[in-house]
Structure 1
């Protein structure tokens, strides 16, 4: 009886989110397009969208149309995709590693992706055969592999039965890996980049949406959708991994293939986003914890809630980055860090008490 009630409540939750999610996401995208140093009315945005998508012929100021279509809307869409992807990567890593502090930034994945992207863009790694996203993907996988090996050497296995020791080992290994790849990135920039390139890359590494255009949307949207579908498809496996690899195996889950596929998928999604906007920290740490507090730990609910909250959070952070200081655009990573660092400290304190 209780199982039937649980399934019924889960199905009801899914049906509610099915129609609420698009409405909230559209509202966030419109807000990201309307709010800026120069506010734009919502009806003007709707007219521009009708002109561009439906072939309508509404009279709209050309400057406003250019700002909406060529700058703010594409920027908001990429911000949503990036927030969704990084937040879901945090959900997956926290479940697989059974560590509440795991996220792409702290685990070195973002730092590795940054190194790979800079190596391709600045140092010419691959002699033109590697794209920016592929270089970032290789760097992300390499960084995560080094972090796992360090944690394994320090604690004789990651995420096993040693609880707190395993959690501490993977976090310390992630910090070490992040610092290593950040140093490699700085070395590549110093050695190979011109002064103008160095300034642009350093701004990009802190998270930058200023150069985003529709060509980036065609890369970001498929990557984000891929991440969402992978997480939804393996939502029950993620529930099982929350209780440990042994519990997952006892439930009939092929532990190594599923875990490897999920890590590769999240590394790929993270690498794509880093190659577009640079490294943005704390999204994968803050959003999953906030959503667990609201909807619980069951991944049937947690995955869609986290995907939506990540998108809204990064759109809101982008709005703040454009409006906080008049006449100046802050790197979006500065905003997420200002919010995420206190949240990180709160998680550490609560974890110590528990």
Structure 2
């Protein structure tokens, strides 16, 4: 009696052109983000404008923002709610510059963080790694302690901006003398951060008054309490221009994902492109830090989370990171304003409270994978 072999299971024939489930899931997630990101940004901004010690409802806030369109909307039958002059002043003069400044600073830090993580091929790199934050902080502390910051309203952000750019220029020039590789840039940046940190400590220890030292500490922790339209005007142009330039360099950023040798084989000049990317990242970071002080974790956490969810393609990673970073800082500032009312926390304190646990989780996840 001959034993018959059990029938083999029929092979599942893959459909031509069918994509794996993870790839389809990621494409769907990207599409949802592209469609939902503008709505999320607008909702976050309107919510932040509405909540505070003197709250206004969302519809009234929208009516205040849409005031120039009241007549055209009325002509087509859309009536906006009425509001008083006090509510209009609260939204337009006090809250809107602070919220918009928080968004563009968060977006700039996230964009710079995404660039740093790609250029150095290190997912835990952050914007201050090349000395930009320390340079701004050192210049600002010297201005505050010497009393020069009060000579003009724009003096402190201008000098902080120039200090940040000077620090990055020093790192790039010194690293270029030694070959300009990524590791050299990192080491020079670490050394400069340590040196400038010592200068900051020595300057604050010799502050003429405790008020000067307290003002310096306040700036170092990052804060948007005194944000106004002038601060927004100082920061917005370099941030917008630098961000547009970074978005234009997305193909070069994607080539860095291949490694320097393979990227060089495509014809790009690695050294010059690296310095250009780092210079633009420093520009947007310096513009943000100059008006907000040193705000940590936004440039580290936002692009890292987006990369985990959407992958490393900078066509998606860079713009989405900017949106996430902007929303994150607006929400952090909202918490800072309202959590312990009437006491106002510093925005940098809230980002540290929120960002540090996320960073620890990312490190543990990275360790578990290895």
Q: Does 1:116 align with 2:116?
A: no
In the TM superposition, residue 63 of structure 1 has moved relative to its aligned partner by 2.7
- Partner of 2:66, secondary structure, is helix
- 1:6 is matched with none
- 2:324 is matched with 309
CA–CA distance in 1 between the matches of 2:106 and 2:59?
Answer: 26
Map 1:98-137; keep pairs closer than 5 Å: 98-120=121-143, 122-123=145-146, 124=148, 131-137=155-161
Map 1:147-158; keep pairs closer than 5 Å: 158=181
Give yes or no for contact 1:108–1:178 (8 Å, CA) kept in 2: yes
Give yes or no for contact 2:246–2:280 (8 Å, CA) kept in 1: no
- 2:3 is matched with none
Deviations 1:128-150 (A, max 9, x none): 9x954453344334444666799
CA–CA distance in 2 between the matches of 1:261 and 1:84?
Answer: 19
Instruction: Name whichever of 40-49 and 103-112 sits farther off.
Output: 103-112
Higher CA-based Rg: 2
- RMSD (Å), alpha carbons: 3.6
Deviations 1:235-276 (A, max 9, x none): 111111123222221112122222111111111211111110
Give yes or no for contact 2:109–2:285 (8 Å, CA) kept in 1: yes
Q: Tell me, which stretches of 5 or more residues in structure 2 are unaligned?
A: 1-15, 18-24, 72-79
Give yes or no for contact 1:47–1:58 (8 Å, CA) kept in 2: yes
Give yes or no for contact 1:34–1:40 (8 Å, CA) kept in 2: yes
- Match among 43, 59, 62 for residue 46 of structure 1: 62
- Match among 25, 38, 43 for residue 41 of structure 2: 25
Seen in structure 2, the aligned counterparts of structure 1 residues 171 and 340 have a Cα distance that, compared at 3 Å, is farther
In the TM superposition, residue 27 of structure 1 has moved relative to its aligned partner by 1.2
- 2:197 is matched with 182
Q: Does 1:66 align with 2:83?
A: no
Q: Does 1:140 align with 2:136?
A: no
Q: Does 1:223 align with 2:234?
A: no
- Match among 191, 215, 218 for residue 203 of structure 1: 218
Aligned residues: 339
- 2:112 is matched with 89
- Match among 234, 239, 250 for residue 254 of structure 2: 239
- Partner of 1:311, secondary structure, is helix
Seen in structure 2, the aligned counterparts of structure 1 residues 347 and 149 have a Cα distance that, compared at 3 Å, is farther
- TM-score, normalised to structure 1, is 0.82
Q: Tell me, which stretches of 5 or more residues in structure 1 are unaligned?
A: 3-8, 160-165
CA–CA distance in 2 between the matches of 1:72 and 1:148?
Answer: 38
- 2:298 is matched with 283
